[in-house]
Structure 1
């Protein structure tokens, strides 16, 4: 509606001030000096404050029947909103909260008007974001759900095109201006959903968080309003939740969509109008995030093998996949799918069904290994050591999962040997002084891997009627000694650097691994084969010491008893039995 003659000149002045304030907020603020980072926004706030005073005075002079009343009130709501946004940007949080609430209060008596709705929802979004930053997710949730309800009610009851801020001020504002109420209602609602996804995550309601995250991604696709890199990363991240809930079909679909969008973006980069430096930056960002999405694909393959293994070990267990998906799709909607994307070729790379045979496991293994090797091209040991080590550990676990599906014991051993080669290779290149946490993980996993190979060899010997060869016995001793050595490296790393003493109380995150390492060491010393009775006695003593450590620690620490509830009884039994064996050996020596 055009303003009446009484206010035409005033509205022209307000429009000019609005355009100037937007220019200061969106453009000129980018060039503010470091010693005055908020100069332009402070200038915008001054202009907006003048506008607010003028609009309040106008509203005092007219009533609701005046033809300009709705426009003036809409302008005032926008000004309050912009003032609040600027205050938040300049770290004046309490002032910003007050101004945003003024916006909501100003427009709340007729919130569903097309002229008011965008400002209302944007203000509620900003309040939700503010309380989230204050680490009060429940308060944030209240504002965001209020914004969501407003949008749903408006869409159902009004369903008219909403009027954005530039249209209300009859202003010319470049489309690149993205903040404030100058955005469309649909884009504003998408932000509401995005914030709700984060808030439900913070409230540990992962199911709702996943639903809102997917809905946000789907709306961004439909409106073609998204950053391809961010979109792909968010889709791949969501896949991690879906696969953990055993929704492999949904997880694979999101990974396929992420790869599709990245490939599409790669094809567009070459046609972008930008200089070489910008092009290189875009290429680097793409390479980085493609490596991240590739790692998510690898996690998918690893979890599929791992869950398939657990499922086969627990015969008769009802599959959880359909139950979980049914729970997620509680409204009967076809959720977690992007129907607008052609992603079949990406999905066909790997199955979404549980693995039952070695041949099927091998297919998953080979594809997952390909993804891990691809990720290592970006995450190298020189440039991203921690990430590189994690990829190597994933590769090790991949061989471990494949070994489960292999019936031939010799081939199982070779798979575990590949794990040893991978882990030892990277460990040799790391300095424990700088990468102690990583080295601890590698020592521990190496120790377990050597122990796994040892168990395979021992089973073969026990199943054979023939006498073990000297070579076989040397192999047994080598595997047991290598496992002990790595467990010992791990335990030594927990000692006080100055006193070389083991701590009286082990930190909570290391308590179970440390006690379990002692348990393994106690068992491994008993597996060493030697004709020398004196050496045999020493090995038994070391075995007793390892078991005794666990028993003594658990007597002093309830946390230890809880973490070792299964193993503690065996350790107590060994502490009773092994001294008898030691005494018999001693008598034999005499």
Structure 2
């Protein structure tokens, strides 16, 4: 049997250490015009180690490690192959088996090196060579970490080639190896660098375990991305959540990056109405983002380019987290509105009581059970996260007081987000934040029983959006302007209804005083104006309205026509000629909805209720118009 001399072995270990240092440290300072210089040097050292080990293996004769026989697979093991690997047990390697693992480690690092230098096919070849060598040996504490790492890398590689299902197979195999190993053995396994380390530099059990767990954490992180690409969003979220938990437990995370990932995960939970999970993610994100340190002062930023860049990054990322909080507050308010509104969109007191009873009987126990599997953080951060969670409920608000508490939290984060995303420089972001602020007012208004106060909330919405809508450049911000026009039109419409309710609940509008009529007509006209501005924005440069409406504007355009028709018929006027003009305008817009849907039958599904009412009004309005004309003729 051949043996490496101590000098030979020392030389190999030194080369491996140098290769690691070149890859992980020196390469960071490589020049832009030669970005892979250090990694190419590392590759040469790894090749020299590979040649030395192969030369030694050739002099040793046949490897006594159990062989699979025949050609080795180029794809990850399937079905019973994993069982076969584990049936060999965890007794450890024979001496030549240990040498095989060392050679596999070098193949692995050569593969990673080629991938890092954008030579992907060569990288795959080395990684597959590593996999083939490992499949000649029993799974043991000495090679289980390498088994997982190589499959992680192959998973990343195939995912980069958009071969997501192949990536999934490699990564799920890595996960299966980890889970089976922890069940059958669980002892801290050998780390890859220990194959080329002198005894005095071997890792402690604690260090080995931490690095092994971190490798599996990477598996979970990559699987989360793969499941996301495959459309398995629930699995992706679960793996993302577990990854974030493990990163905190292992202390291996970049605070701001971790915080943004947690905040992003919260948005998935929000879409599933899982507000406890969403709130926990956001609270953890806010706390962990604080670990990134204080934002440098403006004076410090002016003196140092590095401090200026750090200041901007910290402010932007914390503003992004604030925006996620706004979405949380808005979503929970809007979910409550959907649950509590009756068939005319008002608060249903019976539903209120039903939900309040349900909350007392069921919700608290259910939430307690779910929360045990959710928690982020260590003892140092648990209290901070819990303290932040207490500031906003994860239960649907059932009355104005509860809704207002959520609203105020959301409004606070609006202020934070706007502080960074200002109109000067961040037009789109700033307006989106304003739209969310407006939506918070709209959701809160649903819970307000006093019509006057509700009207004031809608007036706040108008005040924050109207000036921007008028001043925005139509050429560059057309879609945003359309959104603002439509929202302003609807807001004025809501205010009009509220003012009429507030002034007089009687059906006889003639009993309204002149001031109320003037205010009502003003709001009605403002609503018509913005609906019409929206419709005019669809016209060609020559002023022609499109014969065919694109899908993204189909429903808004038809609804706008329907609303304009309705608003014209509601204007209060004592002059018969003006009344006739308003009714004719109303009829023309109702006709447009009906005729467009007749010409484009596929559009009917988008406006079913509006179309039904439009058909009815197209039949009724001509009679009303004719009666008015007859009265006018009789009076003349």
Q: CA deviation at 1:268?
A: 11
Q: Residues 160 and 554 from structure 1, CA distance in 2 versus in 1: closer, same or farther, beyond 3 angstroms?
A: same
* Cα-to-partner distance string for 1:524-567 (whole Å, 9 max, x where unaligned): 11111222333322222222222222222222334411211222
Distance 1:260 1:114 in 2: 37
Equivalent residue, structure 2, for 1:162: 189
Equivalent in 155, 160, 169 of residue 142 of structure 1: 169
Q: Is the 8 A contact 1:447 1:487 kept in 2?
A: yes
Q: Residues 264 and 24 from structure 1, CA distance in 2 versus in 1: closer, same or farther, beyond 3 angstroms?
A: closer
Matched, 1:41 2:84: no
Equivalent residue, structure 2, for 1:520: 563
Distance 1:199 1:344 in 2: 32
Distance 2:189 2:309 in 1: 38
SS at match of 1:110: coil
Equivalent residue, structure 1, for 2:425: 383
Q: Residues 583 and 316 from structure 1, CA distance in 2 versus in 1: closer, same or farther, beyond 3 angstroms?
A: same
Map 1:474-485; keep pairs closer than 5 Å.
474-485=518-529
Equivalent residue, structure 2, for 1:312: 340
Map 1:426-437; keep pairs closer than 5 Å.
426-437=468-479
Equivalent residue, structure 1, for 2:64: 64
Which one is further off, 346-355 or 225-234?
346-355
Distance 1:351 1:304 in 2: 9
Equivalent residue, structure 2, for 1:577: 620
Equivalent residue, structure 2, for 1:246: 273
Equivalent in 2, 6, 9 of residue 8 of structure 1: 6
Q: Residues 470 and 35 from structure 1, CA distance in 2 versus in 1: closer, same or farther, beyond 3 angstroms?
A: same
* Cα-to-partner distance string for 1:408-458 (whole Å, 9 max, x where unaligned): 111111111111001113324422222222111111111111111112223
Distance 2:372 2:316 in 1: 32
Q: Is the 8 A contact 2:295 2:311 kept in 1?
A: no
Distance 1:193 1:552 in 2: 55
Q: CA deviation at 1:300?
A: 1.7
Q: CA deviation at 1:171?
A: 7.0
SS at match of 1:564: helix
Matched, 1:587 2:630: yes
Equivalent residue, structure 1, for 2:286: 259
**TM-score normalised by the chain length of structure 1:** 0.89
Distance 2:46 2:602 in 1: 60
Q: Is the 8 A contact 1:17 1:47 kept in 2?
A: yes
* Cα-to-partner distance string for 1:300-342 (whole Å, 9 max, x where unaligned): 2212211112221266699799999999999x89321126321
Q: Residues 316 and 60 from structure 1, CA distance in 2 versus in 1: closer, same or farther, beyond 3 angstroms?
A: farther
Q: Is the 8 A contact 1:4 1:67 kept in 2?
A: no
Map 1:88-99; keep pairs closer than 5 Å.
88-99=115-126
Distance 2:37 2:364 in 1: 52
SS at match of 1:99: helix
Which one is further off, 215-224 or 247-256?
247-256
Q: Is the 8 A contact 1:201 1:209 kept in 2?
A: yes
Distance 2:44 2:168 in 1: 32
Q: Residues 587 and 7 from structure 1, CA distance in 2 versus in 1: closer, same or farther, beyond 3 angstroms?
A: farther
Q: Is the 8 A contact 2:295 2:315 kept in 1?
A: no
Q: CA deviation at 1:147?
A: 0.9
Q: Is the 8 A contact 2:188 2:209 kept in 1?
A: no
Which one is further off, 549-558 or 275-284?
275-284
Query: Which sections of structure 1, spanning at least 5 residues, go unmatched?
Result: 176-180
**TM-score normalised by the chain length of structure 2:** 0.83
Matched, 1:554 2:597: yes
Distance 2:156 2:30 in 1: 25
Distance 1:56 1:277 in 2: 51
Matched, 1:532 2:565: no
Matched, 1:195 2:232: no
Q: CA deviation at 1:349?
A: 1.1
Q: CA deviation at 1:280?
A: 4.2
Distance 2:426 2:34 in 1: 36
Q: Is the 8 A contact 1:526 1:539 kept in 2?
A: yes
Equivalent in 312, 316, 324 of residue 288 of structure 1: 316
Matched, 1:402 2:416: no
Q: Is the 8 A contact 2:488 2:527 kept in 1?
A: yes
SS at match of 2:324: helix
Q: Is the 8 A contact 1:329 1:335 kept in 2?
A: no
